[in-house]
Every structure is written in structure tokens, then in C-alpha cells.
Amino acid sequence: MKLPLVCAALFLASTLVTSEALARPPEGGYFAFGLGYAAASGDRGVPLKEAPGAGGTEYEEVVRTDFGSGLGFDIRFGWLIGPIAPEISMSGHGTFDFKDGAGYPSFSVRFHPLLLADSLAAIPFDTSVFIGAGYVIGGYQPKLQVAGFNADGKGWDGWDLTFGLGVTYDLSARVRIGLDFRCLLPQYSRFMIDWDDDINGHPTETPSTFVFLPTLQIVASF
């Protein structure tokens, strides 16, 4: 009976020692890569200044921001200074055939509130919240066509607002795994009617678009 108790005590002690050693992400640079799934929603039949009064099922399919659900990824480079980390990132999502998706090069600021609490230094977990903005470009292949629009793929670009939260667990002093929950709000301002001939349209107002992109991540400090 004593042997299991001794083993349990040794295991607990070693865990605490290890947690103390791994407690906090080190200051300095880091790289993160994540894979997950994106759920995208948006407007269909977006009114264009160049196509007043257009409507119908075909038009709703051709001129829309409801596209891009599928595989998602996130690549981040950042520099941790105290509890604050400025980041540059590249996020994207879409179908496996690359005919439907979007990409978001962005700049963000990430805040790590637990790093302010010395009493939590031994906990091998970390949490963060972030907000940022950047460029967005996306495209898709309509299943239907409308008179006056060619049969090529369509797309949008504009700027993007991104925000969310993350949680990580320390595997070693410089390697962590975790989850990032990213929300993307594309603010599309230009509709690409014809990519090759640079023929574009513009919405009468910014269409509503929302993308939820959770990813499983590995983070390495250097």
C-alpha cells in the first residue's frame, strides 16, 4: 500500500517541478502553425452598383459572399514582450479543389492575461485574446450563370477584421500545443466579375460576411 502512495507522491512532485519549468512562454520570437475547419456564411444576391435591379436564383448564386467553408489553416509569426505579442499572420480556408476559398494576410496584437499573475507561474497553460486587421481576397466557382456575367470564377477583395482567443499547453520550454478560435469579418468592397480582363463591380453597401476558423496549433519559440 505504501509503494503506490510513494509512487503517486513522486509523480505529483515531478509534475509540479516540470510545470514550474514550463510555466510561461519565453519572451522573444515564435512561430505557430494550425490546421482546422472553417465555417463561412455571407450574403447571396449582393446588389451591385453596376447591375441595378438584378435578382433571381441565378443572380443569388453568382454574386455572393457565402463561400469558403472547408479546410482552414493559420500561420503566425510573433514577438512576445511581457504580456503583449504583435503578430503577422496568414490565414486561409476553402475546398480541397481550390475553387472556393479565401486568404487573409493580417497584422494582430495578442494579449496574454495570465502572464500578469505571478501566482499562476507554475501552471503549464496559457490563454490569449487577439484583435487585428488586414487584406482579404477570395474566390469561388458559381454553379449557375447569369446573362451579362461570363462563366469564369468570381471573387472579392477588401479588408478584414479578425479577433478571437487561444489556449496553449506547454510540451517543453519552447514548444506548445493549443487551440485558436479565430473570427473573421471580411469587408468586401470590390467584386471581380472577370479576373483575366480586370472587370470589376462594387456593392451598393458592404455585404455581411462571417467566418469562424478554429485550428489545432503547434507553437515554437526561438
Instruction: Give the residues across from 130 on adjacent strands.
Output: 110, 164
Is the pLDDT score of 8 beyond 50?
Answer: no
CB 81 within 8 A of CB 100: no
Between CA 42 and CA 49 the distance in angstroms is: 19
Instruction: Please tell me what DSSP assigns to residue 54.
Output: -
Start-to-end Cα distance in the chain: 45
Q: Examine the pLDDT at 2 and tell me if it is beyond 90.
A: no
pTM score, two decimals?
0.85
Predicted local confidence at residue 21, as pLDDT: 41
Residue ranges per domain, the chain? 2-221
Looking at this protein, which amino acid is placed at residue 81? Answer: I
* pLDDT above 90: percentage of residues in the chain: 69
DSSP of 146-188: -TTS-SS-EEEEEEEEEEEEEEEEESSSSEEEEEEEEEEEEEE
Contacts of residue 194, Cβ cutoff 8 Å, sequence gap at least 6 = 150, 152
- What is the identity of the amino acid at 123? I
Q: Is the dihedral of CA 174, 172, 109, 33 positive or negative?
A: positive
Give the pLDDT confidence of 61-112 residue by residue, as tens digits.
Answer: 999 999 999 999 999 999 999 999 999 999 999 998 888 999 999 999 999 9
Confidence of residue 198 (pLDDT cuts 50, 70, 90): confident
- Tell me the Cα Rg of the chain: 23
Residue 62 to residue 100: CA distance in whole angstroms? 13
Report how far apart, in Å, the C-alpha atoms of 174 and of each of 29, 30, 83, 114, 222 are: 10, 9, 16, 17, 7
- What's the rounded Cα separation, in Å, for the pair 12 and 150? 67
DSSP, res 113: G
CATH topology of domain 2-221: Porin (2.40.160)
Distance CA 189, CA 48 (A): 10
Q: Which of 29, 77, 34 is nearest to 221 (CA)?
A: 29
**What tens digit of pLDDT does each residue of 12-27 get?**
333 433 334 445 788 9
Q: Does residue 4 register a pLDDT over 80?
A: no
Predicted confidence at residue 177, as pLDDT, reads 97
d(CA 38, CA 70): 5
pLDDT of residue 23: 55
